[in-house]
Structure 1
Amino acid sequence: MKQFLIFVKKECLHIWRDRRTLVILIGMPIVQIILYGFALTNEVKNSRIAVFDQSKDDATRLITDRIAASRYFNLEKNLNSYKQIGESFREGIVRMVVVFPINFQDDLLHTNHAQIQLIADASDPNTANTLANYASAIVNDYQNALNNDQKLPYNIDVQLRMLYNPELKGAYNFVPGVMALVLMLICAMMTSISIVKEKEMGTMEVILVSPLKPFRIVLAKTVPYLLVSLLNIISILLLSVYALDVPIKGSIFLLMAESTLFTITSLSLGILISNFSRTQQSAMFTSMMSLFLPTLLFSGFLFPIENMPKALQIISNIVPAKWYYIIVKAVMIKGLGITAIWKETLILMGMTLLLLGISIRNFKIRLA
């Protein structure tokens, strides 16, 4: 045991002395959580719009003020002709134009019917549809206020309730994804590179002639990265709660335990990659291509898996990040316990044992 701890200390000193790598290991999760939490979001807000008001009456001014006061829109300019609408879109000035016809208020008061035209840039269909829905909701609120909330006969009132994330914050989706991405990259990529580095420098030969068995050598190489990963998990959770206002509704102990399990799975993948890599460049390239892209594409982080073809849905089942992403969302966002994630936990355990077994079995004790 003493010899094993000496090896672990040696690996920790390697990481500590390589300050550039240490900054990347500690700083990358912080940068990513801030980037994904604030910059890359699926929320639509502060979108630039224009208004073409041909009526210029009290009703159109009131609706315009309501739209401009919303956090979803920024009123960029007022237009004076239909020609300016096309020019505004072509120049990329606005994402949507609100058009009020002539005699809008008179038609609304005398015929009880008036029209508003919403022209949106559908080159991004999801954003265009979202903006149109936001604007329609604001107009409907004005209409209800005008009618003093009186309901028409046979009116169907649709009530919408959003569970777990009532404000539809994008951070609720990105935080679990960033946790999976960071742990996968740090654990797998850095572990594979560190082992291959020993081979390149010729120090692996010295390590292999030590009294320690290959299993303990591999374990000693991974323990420091496990500790760094736990530190990253804590920093991500702190930033999530205090910077992004994403609460931890479930058990913190369960969340840390599941994160540790996924970390060990990622470390096992790193060891496996190191067995087939001869240089640090090949290890990094293999890690990026075989881990980074699948984590982004098949974890459900950026793209819903259920929208993919059946073949890709089946492939996604072999990506560990998918199961960890489900676990984090269930525990952290929904506040569920182990009874809701036991299947995903068993799958990760099975993957860990399989990968660790293959990695240890194929670990080369002779370099020649």
Structure 2
Amino acid sequence: MKRFIGFIKKEFYHIFRDRRSLFILFGMPIAQILLFGFAITNEINNVDIAILDYSKDAVTEEIINKISASKYFSIKQLIEKESDIESIFKQGKVKAILNFEKDFSKNLIKDHKATIQIITDATDPNTANTITNFVNAILQKYQKSLNKDAVIAYQIVPRSRMVYNPELKSVYMFVPGVMTIILMLVSAMMTSISITREKELGTMEILLVSPLKPIQVIVGKVFPYIFLSVINAVVIVVLSIFIFNMPVQGSLFLLAMESILFIISALALGILISTISATQQTAMMISLMGLMLPVILLSGFIFPISSMPVPLQIISNIIPAKWFIIIIKGIMLKGVGLEFIWKETLILLGMTVFFIALSVRKYKIRLE
């Protein structure tokens, strides 16, 4: 019995000495519960909207102030003409635009009825529906306050208009998100085990004595997987178009170039994981657990980033998938060109260069 107890003590010592095991046992559950608790929400907070006010009277100003005072919306800008609506949505600056009809106050007083149009970006149908419902709730509350002492009831009529996805098809949201997840996880996992496989098979010595420079080894490891991942991307897009009737409003060439850039970014991230992992098992675990949750929860694929706590919003900026989803939705659903997504493209390019440079640096360290 003493031997058995001693054996158990030894196992405890081994676990407590292994920091990676302790992190998996205690760190991962804490990280997961915090991510799920804060990121998964159907509510909206501080959603950026724009106002198109043709009336510009006391009533519309009061309504705008009430909407602005709520925690759900943040008025990003005021626009002057209806022709600006499309360009603002394409820039991705706002999720909704409230359009007050001309002579809003006069119509409300004279006819006891006035109209406000709620225009929402329905590339994310769940968020679009939620925005419409929250605006309607604020308008109904204001209408109720107007009718408190009124003989004839005043009526504010909201008319909703969904752009880019008027039928609110969920596939318009899921196809870009699923494409992003597949390309990220498959590409990262494929390359994350490449260098660790060399270590485990004992062939790393061949690379060590070869005349190849670290950058050549990294690029050589990544290049074959680029071709394979591009085939994956083509299959996904073809299935999306012909099976799920997913539209591609923008340039197929631009979509292809952006997809290749994202694939290279994911592959470079996989190589980075590979250079810092001792075994294939560790590399696979980091790829799955370290990438899957952030990609699903913090990329804006399912849950709006603007509704998350500020720390998670900041962290989401270092998730490559976030920027690719913005790009792919812009090209496929909005038909935007590079002039609207150049910032996201530069961010992805910068991340790719950073991952490759860090991989080379880590590889050099392991050579010494």
Is this a same-fold pair by TM over 0.5? yes
Secondary structure of the residue aligned to 1:346 is helix
**How many angstroms does 1:158 deviate by?**
3.7
Which aligned pairs between 1:17-166 and structure 2 lie closer than 5 A? 157-166=157-166
CA distance in 1, matches of 2:156, 2:302: 35
Q: Deviation per CA, 1:154-182, whole angstroms, max 9, x where unpaired?
A: 76554322100111111111111112111
Match of 2:314 in 1: 314
Go from structure 1 to structure 2 and tell me whether the alpha carbon gap of 1:308 and 1:155 turns closer, same or farther (over 3 Å shift): closer
Specify the code of the residue in structure 1 equivalent to 2:302: L
- Measured in 2, the distance between the counterparts of 1:155 and 1:303 equals 33
* 4+ runs deviating over 6 angstroms: 152-155
Contact 1:196–1:278 (CA under 8 A) maintained in structure 2: yes
Query: Take 1:364 and 1:346, find their aligned partners in 2: how far apart are those partners?
Result: 27
Conservation of the 8 A alpha-carbon contact between 1:275 and 1:364: no
Bigger Rg over Cα: 1
Residue 367 of structure 1 and its aligned partner are, at CA, apart by: 6.1
Normalized against structure 1, the TM-score is what? 0.57
Q: Quote the residue 2:279 is aligned against.
A: 279
Give the structure 2 partner of residue 300 of structure 1: 300
- C-alpha contact 1:298 1:305 (8 A) present in aligned 2: yes
Amino acid at match of 1:231: I
Question: How much has 1:365 moved relative to structure 2?
Answer: 7.3
Tell me if structure 2 keeps the 8 A contact 1:171–1:246. Answer: yes
| Aligned equivalent of 1:176 | 176
Using a 3 Å threshold, how does the CA distance of structure 1 residues 153 and 312 change in structure 2: closer, same or farther?
A: closer
Check the 8 A contact 2:258/2:345 in 1, yes or no. yes
Is structure 2 residue 270 aligned with structure 1 residue 270? yes
The number of aligned residues is 222
Gaps of 5+ in 1: 1-41, 43-125, 134-151
How big is each residue's C-alpha offset from its partner over 1:232-285, in whole Å with a ceiling of 9 and x where there is no partner? 111011011100011111111111111111111111111111111011110001
In 2: Cα distance, 1:187 partner to 1:313 partner: 25
Cα separation, 2, equivalents of 1:366 and 1:286: 19
Could you tell me how far apart the structure 2 residues matched to 1:340 and 1:169 are?
A: 24
The equivalent of 1:84 in structure 2 is: none
Deviations along 1:275-314, one digit per CA (max 9) or x if unpaired, are 1101111000111122111101110012111110111101
Q: 1:317: Cα distance to partner?
A: 0.5
Deviation at 1:206, TM superposition (A): 1.5
Match of 1:209 in 2: 209
Q: Secondary structure at the match of 1:159?
A: strand
Q: Secondary structure at the residue paired with 2:246?
A: coil
Considering only aligned residues, what root-mean-square deviation do their CA atoms show, in Å? 2.4
Alignment check: 8 A CA contact 2:164 2:333 kept: yes
**Cα distance in 1 between the residues matched to 2:248 and 2:264:** 23
- SS of residue in 2 equivalent to 1:244: coil
Point out where structure 2 has 5 or more consecutive residues left out of the alignment.
1-41, 43-125, 134-151
Distance 1:282 1:335, change over 3 A: same
